[in-house]
Structure 1
């Protein structure tokens, strides 16, 4: 019988169970009581309401991805008219959009050329998107958050055409990088870029820029900012960068958010996270 129950459990149950066990702020008696109550909810056919709402939304976006047949996908925030949740006022949403493709030729084989490339990469706008990755309703948002880097600002302008509500913030800039010191020999540009980032991850190649630990601390602060904004306003949109978005998702999940849509890692990829307060 126990094996039967365990086979019916969804991964989200184990996430909530793990969070409950790690909560050191509650007493042992209260923890034992809550574990007992949680276990009683795992009977066949019963799903806690908040989890059920999340499952409905995740299934909805999963269907959209399958129907798109790998074509570029346009997504929206979850709207009350879709009928995926019982009470739309209890739903908070965070949508992360990676910038478009920078309007820059990817070339250079020597160190000085690689240095120039990353400088230009942070300075140029993006090519005009061939599709709209995120569709907003009229007056749906009061603010569109971006980083202070040109490719983020340019993407927001081209996709949404609402410069008056764009709010650039250095908190959302990409993790910093620089080309590592090495003889100016010919190497593929990808080697210069990847090698520089790997050395930075390991704690080297950080002189003059933020360290990996500092960048992660900034990402945690950014996640808390987005969380607060979404809980207050219902919806939050950020146009930013691939590596930052990866850590934003990681930290938001730790704070109880569920990722119901993952559009990958490419240019203009989208990630939608939600929280339903039961």
Structure 2
């Protein structure tokens, strides 16, 4: 007799970095803002709206500090795997002759990046290829682990979710904010008589 086994993938975006200010800055200061964001501790005032239970889960983190600190905040004492494919899609920065707020720089730079403008960071095309490798790895893990929890990053989590949906996973919950949780599930028929 066959029955369905639900496999689940949970993406948790890192908490808000302490360096994530939104001041008006020029492009040189924005490049420094990106570097500081990548090395930043978490803002102690930033907390999850709600936490996700981690029992019976295979725990994966990005190698970036903010993801590791977010896992530690959740009480993770043992990470099953630190996965380079899970790191954030590089935050691009360009030398442009004006001043904007930090988060406006992020939006403008991402828009140029999506259009294929390159720089001293990974291209959008390469970043998507890396995330596709992440998805292949996660699907392989899901064959032996019913529930996988990944502490990652906004853009990487978003594109990984899109690629999983294309592969037949169902989106059950999404939140792209800091500490946001995105849940995908896939039912697999199993033979109970085997």
Q: Under TM normalisation by the shorter chain, which class is it?
A: 0.7 to 0.9
1:149 and 2:61 aligned: no
The residue aligned with 1:177 is: 91
- State the structure with more CA Rg: 1
Call closer, same or farther: CA 1:108–1:170 in 2, change over 3 Å.
farther
Contact 2:28–2:95 (8 Å) recurs in 1: no
Q: 2:80, 2:145 → 1: CA distance?
A: 16
> Which runs of no fewer than 5 residues in structure 1 stay unpaired?
1-85
- Structure 1 or 2: larger strand share? 2
SS in 1 for 2:32: helix
1:222 and 2:140 aligned: no
Q: 2:173, 2:104 → 1: CA distance?
A: 32
Cα deviation 1:126-165 (Å, max 9, x = unaligned): 134255421223xx23x41111111111101111x22322
1:127 paired residue among 30, 38, 43:
43
TM-score normalised by the chain length of structure 1: 0.62
1:98 paired residue among 4, 8, 13:
13
Contact 1:94–1:227 (8 Å) recurs in 2: no
Cα deviation 1:39-92 (Å, max 9, x = unaligned): xxxxxxxxxxxxxxxxxxxxxxxxxxxxxxxxxxxxxxxxxxxxxxx957x221
SS in 2 for 1:233: coil
Q: 1:93, 1:154 → 2: CA distance?
A: 23
Q: 1:95, 1:87 → 2: CA distance?
A: 23
Q: 1:130, 1:241 → 2: CA distance?
A: 14
SS in 2 for 1:203: coil
- Structure 1 or 2: larger helix share? 1
Contact 1:156–1:166 (8 Å) recurs in 2: no
Contact 2:116–2:123 (8 Å) recurs in 1: yes
1:198 and 2:111 aligned: yes
Call closer, same or farther: CA 1:192–1:148 in 2, change over 3 Å.
same
Higher relative CO (CA 8 A, sep ≥ 6), structure 1 or 2? 2
Call closer, same or farther: CA 1:244–1:105 in 2, change over 3 Å.
closer
Equivalent residues in 2 for 1:13-32, closer than 5 Å: none
The residue aligned with 1:26 is: none
Contact 1:258–1:273 (8 Å) recurs in 2: yes
Q: Output the aligned Cα RMSD.
A: 1.9
**Count of residues in Structure 1 that have an aligned counterpart in Structure 2:** 185
Contact 1:108–1:117 (8 Å) recurs in 2: no
